[in-house]
C-alpha cells in the first residue's frame, strides 16, 4: 500500500510517501516540505499547497492520503491555517478519488514511538530508525509526514476490520428490527 502522509501547515507543509509491505515493513519513497511565505495572501498560500499536493499525488500515485487531524491548539489562528492546509490537500485527493484518513498527533506518536506523548525528537528518531534512513528527515514537518504515512500503514488493517465489524453489526441490527416488525405485524392481525 502506498501512502502519502501530510503534516499540514501554512508556513511548512510536510509531504512523505512510504510503501507498506507485509507485516510492519515500510519503505521510504519520497519526503519534502513545501514552504509558503508568511507575507503572502492566505488564498495564494493555500493555492501553492494545493498545487504541491496535486503534484505529489500525480507523481507518486498513493492509494490513500493520511493527514494529521487538527483537534486543538492554543493559537486559534495557527489551528485555522493548519486545518485549511489539510483541507486543500484532502480536496486534491478527493478530486482524484483517493481515500483520505485523518490521524491525531497522539495516534501517530503512539504508532511510531509507543507513546502518545512523545516529543518531536523521539518521533524523528523512530522514523529514521523504522525507515532505515542514513540521516534524519529535516525539518520536523518532513519527519512528521513520514510518521503519518507509517502510522496509516500500520493502523489501516485495524481500521478496515473495525469498519467491517461495524457494517456487520448494522446489518444484524437491520435484520433484527425487520424480524421484530414482522412479529409485531403478525400479532396485530
**Active-site residue list:** 7, 68, 141
Distance CA 110, CA 91 (A): 27
Distance CA 86, CA 26 (A): 24
Distance CA 146, CA 155 (A): 14
Burial class (CB in 10 A: 0-12, 13-18, 19+), 135: exposed
What crossing angle do the helices spanning 105-113 and 120-130 adopt, rounded to 10°?
50
**58 carries a ligand binding annotation:** no
**7 carries a ligand binding annotation:** yes
Does the CA dihedral 44-5-112-135 come out positive or negative? negative
**68 carries a ligand binding annotation:** yes
Asked if residues 3 and 135 have their Cβ atoms less than 8 Å apart, the reply is no
Asked if residues 162 and 156 have their Cβ atoms less than 8 Å apart, the reply is no
Q: Which residue ranges make up the annotated binding site?
A: 7, 68, 141
Amino acid at each position: 500500500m502506498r501512502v502519502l502522509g501530510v503534516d499540514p501547515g501554512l508556513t511548512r507543509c510536510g509531504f512523505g510517501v512510504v510503501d507498506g509491505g507485509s507485516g510492519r515493513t515500510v519503505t521510504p519513497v519520497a519526503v519534502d516540505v513545501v514552504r509558503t511565505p508568511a507575507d503572502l495572501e492566505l488564498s495564494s498560500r493555500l493555492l501553492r499547497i494545493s498545487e504541491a499536493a496535486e503534484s505529489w499525488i500525480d507523481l507518486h500515485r498513493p492509494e490513500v492520503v493520511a493527514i494529521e487531524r487538527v483537534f486543538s491548539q492554543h493559537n486559534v489562528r495557527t489551528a485555522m491555517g493548519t486545518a485549511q492546509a489539510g483541507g486543500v490537500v484532502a480536496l486534491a485527493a478527493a478530486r482524484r478519488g483517493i481515500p483520505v484518513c485523518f490521524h491525531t498527533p497522539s495516534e501517530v506518536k503512539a504508532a511510531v514511538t509507543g507513546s502518545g506523548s512523545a516529543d518531536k525528537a523521539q518521533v524523528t528518531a523512530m522514523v529514521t530508525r523504522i525507515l532505515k534512513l542514513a540521516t534524519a528527515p529535516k525539518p520536523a514537518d518532513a519527519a512528521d509526514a513520514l510518521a503519518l504515512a507509517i502510522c496509516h500503514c500500520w493502523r489501516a488493517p485495524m481500521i478496515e476490520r473495525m469498519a467491517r465489524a461495524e457494517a456487520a453489526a448494522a446489518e444484524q441490527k437491520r435484520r433484527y428490527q425487520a424480524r421484530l416488525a414482522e412479529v409485531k405485524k403478525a400479532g396485530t392481525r
